[in-house]
Structure 1
Amino acid sequence: MENLPLYISVFFALTTLLTLILFYITIKSSSSKDIRAKANLIIIILIVWLMIQAFLSLMNVYNSNLQSLPPKILVFGVFPSVVVIVILFYHKQGKRFVDSLPLLNITYINTVRIFVEITLYWLFLNKMLPKLMTFGGVNPDIVCGITAPFVAYFAFRKSKIKEKMILIWNIISLIILMNIVVLAILSAPSPLQKICFHQPNIAILYFPFVWLPTFIVPLIIFGHITAIRRLVKSISKIE
């Protein structure tokens, strides 16, 4: 990573910070007084998580012994995030937390995808990941980021968009995100790699880009599942 321009790392670190701030605002806007009171604790836990991921990547845990199976970044970075999301949607207190978050704020968080996609394109130009993971390849994720503030404003501020359309937007955005997740896994250097051997996806193994698969992506996925769950329940009640 010595040859990577510093501004790319700084830009992505600031994107991660913005994501954290937006999520903090979301929690502080919860409809539950108890959840709002726990906002600081939740953010502290997330900061500790980010620090752990930074430490592991800076200690070269993720970019060494790349033939280990399963890949270490999946074991120590992605899997814990998946477990937390599953618990939140199955545990009584977790569902209470999920159902208290305002969909307006959750939707606004998706705007960070614009900055993520800019970062990915810069990383491609610096030979840190394959072109297919960018908006110049087969990744239209930036469209979700661009449309997010409009969906948030017209759907939840102005009530100009029907719930079914909001639901469709969330489903499509989640599918697009899962597409890039699959591409990222299949192009990363590991026994699971199936594509892009000429230019593998190595960026996510280094600091600060390790925060993308271990924090930003899981948070965006959590937001979409939350919105889908809430919208399906709301539409079902109407019908």
Structure 2
Amino acid sequence: MPTLPNVLYLSFIATTLLGGWLFYRAANSSGRVLGVLGLWLLVQSLLALSGFYTVAASRPPRLLLALLPPLLVIAALFNTEAGRRFLDGLRLDRLTLVHLLRVPVELVLFWLFLHKAVPQLMTFEGRNYDVLSGLSAPVVYYLAFRGRQMGWRGLLAWNIGCLLLLLNIVVNAVLSAPTVVQQFAFDQPNVAILYFPFIALPSCLVPLVALAHLAAIRRLVRERAAAVLPLPG
């Protein structure tokens, strides 16, 4: 990977801590959540520092070890009773604020692009419009939870739209990484995410953002359904 300024590393570490703190707050300051996040980040950091993810020719791609476990955890949360209790306990207003972290993430990605560590398509100058989610998050938070000018339909539409924006950049990022499944950006691939501390982006920050959207969508759909269902009798 190209040599990067120390301030870029520190900026991303600070962004990662911000993401963890925002989700920790959405989970009602749960010590268990903080412990799980901390342990997972430690494991991923050690793997990245060892050079584990830089073996590009491995089959299947080693990057799956960063991507699959969080996806399995999310699936378990939605498909187990204990997991659903956890999701029901998350604060919808603070889940909205989790998406603030997408602004510094996009700034770091652009900075990495300038240093040839990620392709342009991963920035807001390319195919990545995810910064719109971060910029709109405080507006949506105010309209939905303070000004009460946005109803459940607007909040649901925003979460679905921003989830699609996230999916777009995730697909492009994975297919731009130097692995056996690479399809884009061969001249300037997505190498940053194979190294510490940037491995936290696919292994932690993206799953947290996705979970925040999915949990919010579940809550909004369930509460609306409960409101329109006829009372038993």
Q: TM-score, normalised by structure 1?
A: 0.93
Q: Contact between 1:68 and 1:190, CA under 8 Å: does it hold in 2?
A: yes
Q: Contact between 2:2 and 2:116, CA under 8 Å: does it hold in 1?
A: no
C-alpha distance in structure 2 between counterparts of 1:27 and 1:235, whole Å: 22
The residue type equivalent to 1:150 in the other structure is V
Q: Contact between 1:104 and 1:153, CA under 8 Å: does it hold in 2?
A: no
Quote the residue 1:55 is aligned against: 46
Q: Which of the residues 176, 180, 186 maps onto 1:187? A: 176
1:190: how far off? 0.8
Quote the residue 1:73 is aligned against: 63
Quote the residue 1:103 is aligned against: 92
C-alpha distance in structure 2 between counterparts of 1:77 and 1:229, whole Å: 25
Does the residue aligned with 1:62 lie in a helix, a strand or coil?
helix
1:197: how far off? 0.6
Quote the residue 1:7 is aligned against: 7
Q: Contact between 1:167 and 1:228, CA under 8 Å: does it hold in 2?
A: yes
Does the residue aligned with 2:53 lie in a helix, a strand or coil?
coil
Quote the residue 1:149 is aligned against: 138
C-alpha distance in structure 1 between counterparts of 2:91 and 2:32, whole Å: 19
Let me know the Cα RMSD of the aligned residues.
Answer: 1.1
Dislocated runs of 4+, deviation >6 Å: none
Deviations 1:119-177 (A, max 9, x none): 00000000001101100111110010000011112102232101101100000000000
The residue type equivalent to 1:59 in the other structure is S
1:1-239 aligned within 5 A: 1=1, 3-28=3-28, 39-64=30-55, 66-74=56-64, 76-239=65-228
C-alpha distance in structure 2 between counterparts of 1:138 and 1:164, whole Å: 27
1:191: how far off? 1.0
C-alpha distance in structure 1 between counterparts of 2:185 and 2:150, whole Å: 40
The residue type equivalent to 1:15 in the other structure is T
1:111: how far off? 0.3
1:2: how far off? 6.1
Which ranges of structure 2 fall in alignment gaps of 5 or more residues?
Answer: 229-233
